[in-house]
Amino acid sequence: MNAENPATHVPSWQGLPAAQQPEYPDRAALREVVTELESYPPLVFAGECDQLRARMGAVARGEAFLLQGGDCAEAFDAVSADQIRNKLKTLLQMGAVLTYAAAVPVVKVGRIAGQYSKPRSKSTETRDGVTLPTYRGDSVNGFEFNEQARVPDPERLKRMYHASAATLNLVRAFTTGGYADLRQVHAWNQDFVKSSPSGQRYEQLAREIDNALNFMKAAGTDPAEFRTVEFFASHEALLLDYESALTRVDSRTGGLYDVSGHMVWIGERTRQLDGAHIEFASKINNPIGIKLGPTTTVDEALTYIDRLDPEREPGRLTFIVRMGADKVRDKLPELVEKVTASGATVAWVTDPMHGNTFEAASGHKTRRFDDVLDEVKGFFEVHKALGTHPGGIHVELTGDDVTECVGGGDEIFVDDLHQRYETACDPRLNRSQSLDLAFLVAEMYRD
């Protein structure tokens, strides 16, 4: 991996319309920041991106299941050992549930170490008669509602890099330094979850895993695979100045990789076929996700395949479907059917969060656990009917005991939302709701 100036290699997106980009008041300052970012070391290696592409190939072929999750928006002041560990614990617990209860290899990918930028449906926000630009993520402007905070500041791109580096460092330490050892399967269950119905169900499953491990050890096998976890980082490739500055030529192959994360995805609001984001994604070799909302046409889906996966390599392209619980059963079948008929092998993943958001009377943006579950169910039903593979779930979650989504086994009510509503953007499943979901998905997968 070398650090050649990517601008000479990825110029093609620059002349194209790029949706959802910040309007920096000082373009010269932006250019300076980009030049500096271009000199920074890669956050991930091209070989690791290839590894994930191979793992996603197994997902696309129906041999593995993707668990992709994390915050809607990471925040600079939340880069702490506790927060990161709690998120990882949640994902590891969900991974254990899915692997054991559904008996399928689980590819674990965080929405982490780079998920600092948010597309917004409105460019301004009004409070008490004052209108300001919307918050677009810590990588762009400040969350506080004042004029100065909301001005896009390119220096924040450097903070995004450093926050991502610190997060990734900790993630690597946690996942390979003993913490993710399957023998820790009980320790991942935090006290507050233990007391919830899903936590108790998890304890039961952890005991079974323990028994299985003890049996294997007694029988003379103690595989090294159980001591560490393969874990990847992903985020939405939204800010093209940043992603492009972190795009490098791989010295092994001469190919381009966006070394800001292993997998990147293009969001529902930036997936225009003639736009800069799709062009950028077509040039890099990372595994790519595209969010598909309810208006996606068959032609669009087929064109994404032609543009992003011309070699038809399983694992290169993942369609992350986010239709809404009320639409997925109507809209998804035709897409899956026609894509399958085209001969392409993409990974199909459900994002049951973004099509199910509503505003509660209290003004909180929230989601009902039952709607989330219903969209996953619909997704599984569609694949079952067509004989195709429901490849995974993409969810917004946190390891903390927040009150942002309503419902779940340890039920959160609309009146509870104010208690711990901490998200910088969309509402996340809390620890207990995430575990509930993992158990329910494992059941659906098995059936």
Footprint on this chain of ligand PEP (rule: CB under 6 A):
72, 119, 236, 267-269, 291, 322, 354, 426
For ligand PEP, give the closer residue by CB, 70 or 154.
70
- Per CB under 5 A, the list member of 426, 427, 428, 429 interacting with Mn ion is 426
Q: Which of 354, 340, 344, 355 is nearest to 385 (CA)?
A: 340
Cβ neighbours of 358 (radius 10 Å): 12
What would the two tokens of residue 253 be? 């192959």
From the CB of 148, what's the least distance to Mn ion, in Å?
26
> Is the Cβ of residue 33 or residue 376 nearer to ligand PEP in the bound state?
376
Interface stretch with Mn ion, choices 17-25, 95-103, 246-254, 423-431 (CB under 5 A)? 423-431
Residue from 72, 97, 263, 395 that binds Mn ion (CB under 5 A)?
72
Taking only Cα atoms into account, the Rg of the chain, rounded to an integer number of angstroms, comes to 21
Q: Nearest approach, Cβ of 124 to ligand PEP (angstroms)?
A: 18
Closest CB to ligand PEP among residues 248, 322: 322
What region, left, alpha or beta, does residue 408 occupy, with left being phi > 0 and alpha being psi -120 to 50 degrees?
left
Spatial separation of the C-alpha atoms in residues 43 and 192, rounded to whole Å: 34
Distance of CA 89 to the CA centre of its chain: 16
Stretch that binds Mn ion, among 70-78, 84-92, 181-189, 256-264 (CB under 5 A): 70-78
CA 82 to each of CA 86, 399, 422: distance values in angstroms, whole numbers, following the listed order: 6, 9, 15
Q: What is the rounded CA–CA span in Å between residue 91 and residue 95?
A: 6
User: Residue 30 and residue 387: Cα distance in Å, rounded?
Assistant: 49
Q: CA–CA separation, 268 vs 320, rounded Å?
A: 10
- Stretch (H or E) spanning 258: strand 256-258
User: CA-based diameter of the chain, in Å?
Assistant: 71
Q: Which does 291 bind (CB under 5 to 8 A by kind): Mn ion, ligand PEP, none?
A: ligand PEP
Contact by Cβ (8 Å): 184, 177: no
Residue (156 or 291) nearer to ligand PEP, CB: 291
Among residues 295 and 419, whose Cβ is nearest to ligand PEP?
295
Is the Cβ–Cβ distance between 342 and 302 less than 8 Å?
yes
Which letter does DSSP use for residue 368 in this model?
A: B
Q: Which is nearer to Mn ion, 72 or 112 (CB)?
A: 72
Q: Residue 354 in contact with residue 317, Cβ under 8 Å?
A: no
With respect to ligand PEP, which residue has the nearer C-beta, 68 or 433? 68
75 binds Mn ion (CB under 5 A): no
Q: How far is the CB of 69 from Mn ion (least distance, A)?
A: 11
Any alpha helices (H) in 342-430, and if so which ranges? 369-386
Tokens coding 398: 């946190």
Question: Binds 399, which of Mn ion, ligand PEP, none (CB < 5 to 8 A, cut-off by type)?
Answer: none
Q: Which is nearer to Mn ion, 58 or 437 (CB)?
A: 437
Q: Rounding to the nearest 10 degrees, give the CA dihedral for residues 151, 28, 167, 68.
A: 80
Least distance from C-beta 424 to ligand PEP, angstroms?
Answer: 11
Binding at 255: pick from Mn ion, ligand PEP, none (beta carbon under 5-8 Å per type)? none
Residue 322 binds what, of ligand PEP, Mn ion, none (CB under 5 to 8 Å, by partner type)?
ligand PEP
Q: Between 345 and 423, whose beta carbon lies closer to ligand PEP? A: 423
CB of 380 to ligand PEP, least distance (A): 19
CA atoms within 13 A on the CB side of 5: 6
Nearest approach in angstroms of CB 265 to Mn ion is 12
- In the complex, which residue's CB is closest to ligand PEP? 267
Residues 315-374 that bind Mn ion (CB under 5 A): none
Q: Which amino acid is at 191?
A: D
Residue (395 or 440) nearer to ligand PEP, CB: 395
**Shortest distance in whole angstroms from residue 137 CB to ligand PEP:** 10
The first and second tokens of residue 181, run together, are 């050892």
What is the smallest separation between the CB atom of 258 and ligand PEP, expressed in angstroms?
17
Q: Which does 268 bind (CB under 5 to 8 A by kind): Mn ion, ligand PEP, none?
A: ligand PEP
Residues at the contact surface with Mn ion, assessed by CB under 5 A: 72, 426
